[in-house]
Amino acid sequence: MPFDGFSAADFDAFEEKKWASNAFNLERLEVKLKLTALGKELQSILGQGLSDQEMGISADRPSVFNQHRVNDLTLYFFRGPTARKPLGSILDGAKSIAANLLDPAPHHKHIIRALRISQVGVDFGLWLHKDAWVDWKNAQARAKAYGEMEKLQQALDELPVELLFARGLGLAADGRFARELDAVVLLEGFEAAQPWTFFGRRLGRDEEDVGQGALAAKIADCLLALEPLHDYLAWTPENDHHQIKSALKEQKEKARKPIKELRAGDEVRVLSGLASGRIAVVDSIARRGMVKVRLGQVVLNMKMEDLARP
């Protein structure tokens, strides 16, 4: 269906009394369908700019993975599966298994272009979670090279005047104009963000544009304006200043080495299946080359050749 804007009912789906209740799943599903339509329209408008990006929407039902509450929904675009897969084990390895299971949201680990709808309105722009360290640590390393801090400052100075900057859960009262931000302050604050760093705009639920299909074009304009900043911050094999390529190469070399001996309690990296790239713990050794490994509360039967040292 075409996207024709958000209604008052869409924002009311995120009233606090509804966050933890499954009784309002249908209301949130209606919003999710609108976000899907909006995402497809953005893909059409931006074309090549999103060609290598995958679209996703955050969970619309309360569960253990979102602390049993849905206070907003996020439509996001991030690096596609081919680019994400080799980074998965590096990102997962930086956190404990318990932490990865508690927060498995893939868009928390990568720089994203996104729109978030909540009870108060819509926020859209460029987002980095503190867990997206492959991107922001790469930017920190890049800025140390000659002339690179000046390039980042120029990218900030040239942002449209209406774009805002904030850290935390979203655009709070202390949000300020992004073009007034000092590049050094930006780089120093990623790890301490609780948990987001955000560049973009907020439109309140009562603003006229929010209820119209033209909202898609407004979001697209914002994302285009943020493209130079995105390109500076986002890690790619061509924009590698944090030696990620070396880590990926080392990871591949480890994966090629067969495991000759395993014991219960050993950590291993899963090389195949849905858990590919994740770090697991050996639960027990079975006969005929089969190993039981534990991912949180889940136990999987794996072949020895599908495991590697972490």
Q: What is the DSSP string of 210-241?
A: GGSTTHHHHHHHHHHHTHHHHHHHS-BTTB--
Which tokens hold the place of 266? 């050993």
Could you list the pLDDT tens digit for every one of the 310 residues in the chain?
789 999 999 999 999 999 999 999 999 999 999 999 999 999 999 998 898 899 999 999 999 888 899 999 999 999 998 888 778 767 665 555 555 555 568 899 999 999 999 999 999 999 999 999 999 999 999 999 999 999 999 999 999 999 999 998 866 545 689 999 999 999 999 988 889 999 999 999 999 999 999 999 999 999 999 999 999 999 998 998 877 656 555 555 555 555 667 888 888 888 777 677 788 888 888 766 688 888 877 888 888 778 887 7
Q: How far apart are CA 256 and CA 269, in angstroms?
A: 12
> With 0-12 CB in 10 A as exposed, 13-18 as middle and 19+ as buried, what is 259?
middle
Residue ranges per structural domain of the chain: 8-244, 257-308
Q: How far apart are CA 56 and CA 188, in angstroms?
A: 29
Residue 94's pLDDT is what?
56
Residue 258's pLDDT is what?
53
- Domain 8-244: give its CATH superfamily: Protein of unknown function DUF1054 (3.30.930.20)
User: Same topology for domains 8-244 and 257-308, yes or no?
Assistant: no
Contacts of 29 (CB under 8 A, 6+ apart): 60
Please choose, from the candidates 229, 259, 260, 235, the residue with its C-alpha nearest in 3D space to the C-alpha of residue 248: 235
Q: Which residues pair with 268 in a beta bridge?
A: 280
Question: Is domain 257-308 annotated with CATH 3.30.750.24?
Answer: no
Contacts of 181 (CB under 8 A, 6+ apart): 156, 165
Q: Could you tell me the pTM of the whole model?
A: 0.79
